[in-house]
Structure 1
Amino acid sequence: MKRRHFIRNTALGTLTAAVGTDIVFGRLIPEGYSLLAMQDPDPFTLFSKDREMVILNDRPWNMEAKAHLLDDKVTPNKYMFIRNNGLIPEDIDVKSWTLTIDGEAVKNPKTYTLAELKSKFKSHTYQLTLECGGNGRSEFDPPAKGNQWTVGAVSCATWTGVRLRDVLEDVGYTDKAIYIGYHAADVHLSRDPGKEPISRGAPMAKALQDETLLAFKMNGQDIPLAHGYPLRLVAGGWPASVSGKWVQRISVRDRVHDGSKMTGDAYRMPCNPVAPGEKVKDEDMCIIESMPVKSLITYPRSGAVIKEGRKLNIRGHAWAG
């Protein structure tokens, strides 16, 4: 016990010296709690992110950009938001990585290695917008639970991969197919192997679009680990939760996928407008699909002091599902 107190007090002392002031309520920090500022490597280095990025959570990791960081037409990795539901997988072996296509509406389930996906199917590259379904949540009134995203949980990178449609057609699916669901290698926060942190999906119409990819490159390079290396689903324009990372299995369902974060009020909203805080019956809730039109001013940056009378070229982006 004394040794743990010594370690905690030493860490607080180091942090106090670094910031030049006392850490308020530092004595109340729980035993074993890892301070973000004391992690080695720190999250910005770990994920190759700009130090102006904002950390909302570290278990799981959730990080967003400030508006002015999103000025580029193609979002570089250092400014891309991170949204996780579980723990990032460890010890990934690309050579042994496989993708299995199965489900009630598959004729003959198949498993592909990553090398087979790349060699058997034609690769395509698209610039696609991914946005967390909760982007802007901090502005809700009344407040909504969950990560309090401001405006930076959105990105528009180039993604390279094979069309999910081509793989599904190679496997073969029946006329009963109405939905796909993904299953991934991330780990539940409890580390219970029987629980999936998230397993969402999309109707077949979305799964079969040209731009819906099983991607292995982002901005021309291997996808960074935090963004789904070595293989992820990319379904642009829909909540980014549909674009599952670290994908190992796609199930073709004869029903709406019922995986983790697909039921209850997860990524669902009232089918028709209701008063704030009003209770809504389950059958009156609809799954969020195509995202609404949104826009963002990226220049000048928020808080900038502009000389009176100066003319400005205002920059920003607009996007939709």
Structure 2
Amino acid sequence: MKQKRQIGRPERGLLELYQDDPERADALVWGRRGALRGAALASMGAALGAAIPFAGRMPEGLLPAALAQPAPSGGGGQGGPQMIRLEGKEPLILQGERPLNAETPETLLDDEVTPASKMFVRNNGQVPEAPRDPRAWKIRIDGEVNQPLEITVGELEGGRFPLVTRRLQLECGGNGRSFFSPQTRGNQWGNGAVSCGEWTGVRLRDLLQAAGLKESGKFTGHFGADPHLSGDPNRQAISRGMRIEKALDEDTIIAIRLNGEPIPLIHGAPARLVTPGWPGSLSQKWLTRIWIRDRPHDGQGMGGTSYRVPVQPIVPGSRNDGRDFVDLESMPVRSVLTNIAHGTRLPAGTRNLDVRGFAWAGDKTVRAVHVSVDYGATWHEMRVADPANRYAWQRWSGRVSLPTDGYYEIWYRATDSDGRMQPHVAGNWNPQGYGANPISRAAVLVG
């Protein structure tokens, strides 16, 4: 007996299917041999809203960026991240409300010197109340020193120690966390938890020398005025520390001004540490004390898997107590595209596209930046400017050609001065998601 064809719910559209059932979507699109098939190519093109000129070069099983990472909606609606407008700030991507954390969209990072209004926000506890008299704010340096030192912001401003002004990039240790698979704990940052402001302050090493650093002083411990989320005055929101070598770096400073103005409260006023090139958690905001120690600091945010990465790769998704991990120190090489937003629609007939952005590499400099518009089959070298000073990010720029109208992806990657290049996939998975720096992709539609 001939079977009747079962009538059921029609197959979902490709975009809907990828959102609901990515495994089935991959099977339908790529087939068993992993090749983008004719009907599926047309279907994917329809889902993307255009033909795909370089479909033949698309890596096997690649989910287009337009489907994998929705463009910001601006209003926090469906299809994009939720945005937040804080006082004195441009719209930022909300990463968390308790504590308050917000990311800067890449296209807001186009300034050589990042305005305070465009800086990302990273908190671990509550924001403290603004001091009535910022100049009376005290910072204490004690521990493994010959003569404990207590100094006010007014004394720092008054020239007791030389003031220096430097463009210094600050980056959250979890920047890029959203690129790990499987997903890790913590705020799912993209590439925008970074800034490069112009900071003015006193070199930390000058204060340590004035306090008489002992030979036994090998590590620092940092303390700030931000209350713990619980409100418990006996608990620190975060208290991290570093090797004394980094504390003595000439570009590690206690800052009292940002871009020539008093530091905004949300960014650590009236004084904060700036420890460039290393995780931003070492740049303690609302700084009150630096404890010089003869052993690694054991404050909140130290040890275990906190700001630490595996020495040897571990199985992604596995549990680990971090016993064999090491502290994340110099941040990995990364780049941002600042003049073309992901999801941009360009006029029909656009054949040349100017692109630009910034790149940085922790303690290193950036040697090269390359851009591809054909899924990495060919790469075009960009111009890379020298940094304004050590630890400042570097401008990159160039032009790429688009042969026809259609759907494209701008892939961009940086290479540091030691030859380390951004990888295709986030590597060295770790439970709290530090150090992810894969090649980034921005989808654009021409016509």
Tell me which interval the TM-score lies in, with the shorter structure as reference length: 0.7 to 0.9
What is the aligned partner in structure 2 of residue 313 from structure 1? 354
AA in 1 matched with 2:350? G
AA in 2 matched with 1:89? P
What is the aligned partner in structure 1 of residue 433 from structure 2? none
What is the aligned partner in structure 2 of residue 29 from structure 1? none
The alpha-carbon deviation at position 275 of structure 1 amounts to 2.5
Give yes or no for contact 2:272–2:285 (8 Å, CA) kept in 1: yes
**Equivalent residues in 2 for 1:105-144, closer than 5 Å:** 105-118=144-157, 119-144=159-184
Give yes or no for contact 2:307–2:328 (8 Å, CA) kept in 1: yes
Distance 1:301 1:91, change over 3 A: closer
| Equivalent residue for 2:246, pick from 199, 202, 206 | 206
**What is the RMSD computed on CA atoms of the aligned residues?**
1.7
Count of residue pairs the alignment pairs up:
279
**Equivalent residues in 2 for 1:128-207, closer than 5 Å:** 128-207=168-247
Q: For each residue in 1:212-264, what CA deviation from the matched residue of structure 2 results, as whole angstroms up to 9, or x when unmatched?
A: 00000111111110000000000111010010000010011100111110122
The alpha-carbon deviation at position 61 of structure 1 amounts to 0.9
| Equivalent residue for 1:58, pick from 81, 93, 97 | 97
Give the TM-score normalised by the residue count of structure 1. Answer: 0.83
What is the aligned partner in structure 2 of residue 82 from structure 1? 121
CA distance in 2, matches of 1:63, 1:301: 18
CA distance in 1, matches of 2:130, 2:116: 22
CA distance in 1, matches of 2:98, 2:136: 28
AA in 2 matched with 1:165? R
Give yes or no for contact 1:68–1:302 (8 Å, CA) kept in 2: no
CA distance in 1, matches of 2:285, 2:226: 8
**Equivalent residues in 2 for 1:29-108, closer than 5 Å:** 44-46=85-87, 48-51=88-91, 53-93=92-132, 94-103=134-143, 105-108=144-147
AA in 2 matched with 1:286? V
The alpha-carbon deviation at position 91 of structure 1 amounts to 4.0
Secondary structure in 2 aligned to 1:273? coil
AA in 1 matched with 2:181? D
Give the TM-score normalised by the residue count of structure 2. Answer: 0.60
Give yes or no for contact 1:129–1:236 (8 Å, CA) kept in 2: yes
CA distance in 1, matches of 2:322, 2:112: 40
AA in 2 matched with 1:256? P
Q: Could you list the runs of 5+ residues in structure 1 that have no partner in the other structure?
A: 1-35, 38-42
Secondary structure in 2 aligned to 1:202? coil
The alpha-carbon deviation at position 186 of structure 1 amounts to 0.3
Secondary structure in 1 aligned to 2:235? coil
Q: Find runs of 4+ consecutive structure 1 residues off by over 6 angstroms.
A: none
Give yes or no for contact 1:127–1:159 (8 Å, CA) kept in 2: yes
CA distance in 2, matches of 1:73, 1:244: 24
CA distance in 2, matches of 1:45, 1:129: 22
Q: For each residue in 1:88-141, what CA deviation from the matched residue of structure 2 results, as whole angstroms up to 9, or x when unmatched?
A: 1114131431010011x1112121111122221000011111111111111210
CA distance in 2, matches of 1:260, 1:166: 27
| Equivalent residue for 1:249, pick from 268, 289, 293 | 289
Moved more, 180-189 or 274-283: 274-283
The alpha-carbon deviation at position 167 of structure 1 amounts to 0.4
Give yes or no for contact 1:270–1:280 (8 Å, CA) kept in 2: no
Give yes or no for contact 1:271–1:286 (8 Å, CA) kept in 2: yes
CA distance in 2, matches of 1:44, 1:228: 19
Give yes or no for contact 2:136–2:154 (8 Å, CA) kept in 1: no
| Equivalent residue for 2:301, pick from 248, 252, 261 | 261
CA distance in 1, matches of 2:193, 2:322: 27
Secondary structure in 1 aligned to 2:345? coil
| Equivalent residue for 2:331, pick from 281, 287, 291 | 291
The alpha-carbon deviation at position 274 of structure 1 amounts to 2.4
What is the aligned partner in structure 1 of residue 276 from structure 2? 236
Structure with larger Rg: 2
